Amino acid sequence: MTGLVALVDCNNFYASCERVFQPALRGKPVVVLSNNDGCVIARSNEAKALGVETGAPWHLYRKRFEELGVVVRSSNYTLYGDMSARVMTILADFTPSREVYSIDEAFLDVAGSPDVLAEHASRLRQTVLQWTGIPVSVGIAPTKVLESFRG
């Protein structure tokens, strides 16, 4: 098989960035707020499991978050931009045909059998996690708008 596209997407990107240099936040519900602490724009898996919604206005949920033990962070775009650059540099090492799509997503041209692609995706996820601390998901499909495999 040739001519496939992999979409690499950082998981819960802003919340994951907050954890990189604060390991004590791992395993805890973490949310990141929009500019001026308006509303929730990123949630860790633990915060999602508690039912915290994207867009939740901080001033309405502040007490509830305290009760639930949700760790709240103001957004830090300098940090997110830096972590994004680190992730994208690693992806470029995996393939010269990397297209940065957003701060936490990139398309890569890939080719190979399903087994080879699964191994490639697994190695990519492990490398990005090990070198940056950011967990990513990889979806592989014939085109940028179709998804047929997620590893």
Active site residues: 105
The footprint of Mg ion on residues 68-87 (CB under 5 A) is none
CB of 5 to Mg ion, least distance (A): 17
Asked if residues 47 and 70 have their Cβ atoms less than 8 Å apart, the reply is: yes
Give yes or no for residue 9 binding Mg ion (CB under 5 A).
yes
Number of other residues whose CB lies within 10 A of the CB of residue 68: 14
Nearest alpha-carbon partner for 52 in 9, 105, 15, 11: 15
Of the candidate spans 5-13, 16-24, 26-34, 80-88, the one that interacts with Mg ion by CB under 5 A turns out to be 5-13
CB of 73 to Mg ion, least distance (A): 17
Backbone angles phi, psi at 106, to 5 degrees: -150, 150
- Of 31, 104, 121, 140, the one binding Mg ion (CB under 5 A) is 104
Q: How many residues contact Mg ion, by CB under 5 A?
A: 4
Three-point CA angle 18, 102, 33, nearest 5°? 35
CB of 87 to Mg ion, least distance (A): 11
In the block, residue with structure tokens 């890569």: 108
Of the candidate spans 11-19, 59-67, 91-99, 120-128, the one that interacts with Mg ion by CB under 5 A turns out to be 11-19
State which H helix or E strand residue 128 sits in.
helix 114-132
By CB under 5 A, name the binding residues for Mg ion.
Answer: 9-10, 13, 104
